[in-house]
Chain A
């Protein structure tokens, strides 16, 4: 009589419940790569030339991506809901991967989309208190929230003077004739990745690589000339809008 009781006791103390039937789900993992025209960025080396003919170098890139959606027949699954704002920093290898916690129904998905930056609904000052995300804060005076992008580097002007550029994106401003700020403009945008059909298999993790081609920020549809726009654009909505138009084609995708 004692033995079955002991068995029952031991059993109940080490197991947490009856096994559930295996769900038909898998996982997805994103890796972020940064290239210039197909080759990994060679940082801090003045070896690139943009479409406008400006020689340039890249020092580092920091940005937020969010609202990853997997599309299937016109419907989508939003990954990780409000938690899915992911920070990428070329100086911090630990940020080059993003593994959403959500289980994903297995099957074939037509495409992936994500938001470059953070939507206005979510992009609120003080929501990140820990570095490195907190270092991305966008001053309240300029609209608040966080930088979408810091792309820092240098270019060589026609006089061969090497000048720094801070290609930074975030909330833009409207100014009146006196230079006073009268309103703010959301500059985040949705990235549609063509040819991003993926298969999520039960019990497996689908690896997806998202590639940023830095040169594309300066190429299409707008040719970006540093000699025209200068080295800082946080207070220049026209410049940020121009950059955002180019940003739609900056990313491509590689799957296993």
Chain B
């Protein structure tokens, strides 16, 4: 009898195991927004820097686009106090302010209180492939021991809270968006909850920023065999990729690295004395990183003026002159600046023109006007 009871207990247990081991009939399906697939252009990296806790979704990207452009991201509604990412990051200038920006003379941006930012802007182009840290010195990076400074989501929060940028209060901001008609529904679609938290805001904006992909410049089309470069552009590309030419490619990529940056950090010979407390050394503590800053992507570089971390150069011509004749040697200059002892790569005027001709083939007009990246016609509460 005892034995039969045990067998019966085992059989029942097995049935319970088999039943509840299967995906639940009784457990409600969690809400799943629509996955957003990034189409990886030919030759581009297949590894994407997307945090596991913020997968790309169609609804998240849509919401992020609204938030990117909505001046109420400052947490304020007074017309004079509106500020969003797009206040400074203009699509027509590769998501930089642009040197001819009427609000920010010379392209030097300042925050809601009028404080100029410590460095000039960096473009928002192809950041989904950046694993080397965000910002001129890469202070926000994936394996940062400080979990608050690891990815684009953190960059969004830092920009919103920084006094020299939006200087927002994250509690006030989330309360405001909870009250704006239309937004709670969009948050619910994106994250399965209409109880808006600031983490949802930063996640949505980060998702949108990760969609900002440039891969259709003239040079991209050349690589795809759709157009031909002219003689000046081709000669410029040879200069770009040769050590005896301008040797740009070791830091700024080329056909084999179509991001046109390594996203790494170099002291490129601008100075001999280094006093900036926010250079790469501030992040790594390595002496050789003094005066080092991120190599920017050269995609749409013609819209990224002013150039260098401090905006010291106004034109591409000035930048090329610097690399040709203006380099300064110091104990910290990166070894890849191997012409530094001669002051630079010593290009002729014709070579400079050809090099710029090539660099301008990295202009991606589609990126600059892509309606998917543009300001929405109306915000959710205006519909």
Is A184 on the interface with B (CB-CB < 8 A)? no
Expressed in whole angstroms, the Cα–Cα distance for A194 and B243 within the complex equals 36
Q: Judging by beta carbons under 8 Å apart, are B256 and A164 in contact?
A: no
A193 to B286, CA, bound (A): 35
C-alpha gap A147/B138 in the complex (Å) = 26
Complex Cα gap A163–B334 (Å): 10
Q: With A2-B11, A140-B255 as known contacts, state yes or no: A231 contacts B338, CB within 8 Å.
A: yes
Q: Determine which residue in B238, B243, B253, B333 has the highest number of CB atoms from chain A within 10 A of its CB, and name it.
A: B243
Q: How far is the CA of A125 from the CA of B43 in the complex (A)?
A: 10
Give A98-138 as 1s and 0s: 1 = Cβ < 8 Å from B's Cβ atoms. 00000000000000000000000000011011110011011
B287 contacts the other chain (Cβ, under 8 Å)?
yes
Alpha-carbon distance between A43 and B286 when the two chains are bound, in angstroms: 11
Q: Is B131 an interface residue (CB 8 A)?
A: yes
A161–B341 touching, CB < 8 Å: yes
Check A235 against B244 for contact (C-beta < 8 Å). Answer: yes
Inter-chain CA distance A140–B241, complex, in Å, is 9
* CB atoms of A166 and B243 under 8 A apart: yes
Instruction: Tell me, in angstroms, the Cα distance from A235 to B241 when the chains sit together.
Output: 11
Tell me how far the C-beta of A102 lies from the nearest C-beta in chain B, rounded to whole angstroms: 24
Per the 8 Å Cβ criterion, residues 240-277 of B in contact with A are 241-244, 247, 249-250, 253-257, 262-263
How far does the alpha carbon of A140 sit from the alpha carbon of B240 in the complex, in Å? 12
- Using Cβ atoms and an 8 Å threshold, which residues of chain A touch B257? 131, 134-135, 137
Most buried by A among B47, B263, B340: B340
- A37 to chain B: closest CB distance in Å? 21
Interchain CB contact under 8 A, B256 and A153 = no
**Shortest beta-carbon distance, B363 to chain A, in Å?**
21
Residue of B nearest to A146 (CB): B256
> Do B262 and A164 have beta carbons less than 8 Å apart?
no
**Residues of B within 8 Å of A, CB-based: how many?**
40
Q: Would B11 and A141 count as touching, CB distance under 8 A?
A: no
Residues in B neighbouring A2, C-beta threshold 8 A: 11
Which partner residue on chain A sits nearest B331 by CB separation? A162
B336 touches A139 (CB 8 A): no
Query: Which of A126, A130, A166 is B47 in contact with, Cβ under 8 Å?
Result: A130
Q: Find the B residue at minimum CB distance from A139.
A: B241
Q: Are A166 and B335 in contact (CB under 8 A)?
A: yes
Q: Chain B interface secondary structure, helix, strand, loop or mixed?
A: loop
Complex Cα spacing A140 to B238, Å? 9
Q: Which residues of B contact A138 (CB under 8 A)?
A: 256
Within 8 A of A (CB), among B288-337: 288, 329, 331, 333-337
**Is A217 engaged at the interface, CB distance under 8 Å to the other chain?**
no
User: Are the C-beta atoms of A141 and B288 separated by less than 8 Å?
Assistant: no
Partner of B45, one of A129, A163, A164: A129
Chain B nearest Cβ from A140, distance in angstroms: 6
B256 contacts A126, C-beta separation under 8 Å: yes
Q: Quick check: A139 and B254 within 8 Å, CB to CB?
A: yes
Expressed in whole angstroms, the minimum distance between the Cβ of A12 and any Cβ of chain B is: 13
CB distance B287 to A44 under 8 Å?
A: yes
Do residues B262 and A135 form an inter-chain contact, with CB atoms below 8 A?
yes
Does chain B have a CB within 8 A of A10? Answer: yes
Kindly state whether residue A65 has any CB partner on chain B within 8 Å: no
Residue from A59, A125, A139 within 8 A of B249 (CB atoms):
A139
The residue in chain B whose Cβ has the minimal distance to the Cβ of A164 is B335
Residue contact A234 to B338, C-beta cutoff 8 Å:
no
* B7 CB-CB contact with A under 8 Å: yes
Complex contact B44–A234 (CB within 8 A): no
Contact indicator A235/B288 (Cβ below 8 Å): no
Q: Residue B283 at the A interface, CB < 8 A?
A: no
User: A153 touching B335 by the CB < 8 A rule?
Assistant: yes
Complex partner residue of B338 from A6, A131, A161, A165, CB under 8 angstroms = A165
Q: Which residues of B contact A234 (CB under 8 A)?
A: 242-243
Find chain A residues with CB under 8 A from B131 CB: 131
A59 and B335 in contact, given A3-B7, A125-B255, A161-B341 (Cβ under 8 angstroms): yes
Question: Can you list 30 pairs linking A and B with CB atoms under 8 Å apart?
Answer: A2-B11, A3-B10, A3-B11, A6-B11, A59-B288, A125-B255, A126-B255, A129-B43, A131-B45, A135-B253, A135-B257, A135-B262, A137-B254, A137-B255, A139-B249, A139-B255, A139-B256, A141-B237, A141-B238, A152-B336, A157-B341, A161-B329, A161-B341, A163-B340, A164-B338, A164-B340, A166-B338, A231-B338, A231-B339, A234-B243
- Where the two chains meet, the residues of B that have a C-beta atom closer than 8 Å to any C-beta of A are 7, 10-11, 14, 43-47, 131, 237-238, 241-244, 247, 249-250, 253-257, 262-263, 286-288, 329, 331, 333-341
What is the interface of chain A, defined by CB distance below 8 A to chain B? 2-3, 6, 10, 43-44, 59, 125-126, 128-131, 134-135, 137-142, 146, 152-154, 157, 161-166, 168, 231-235
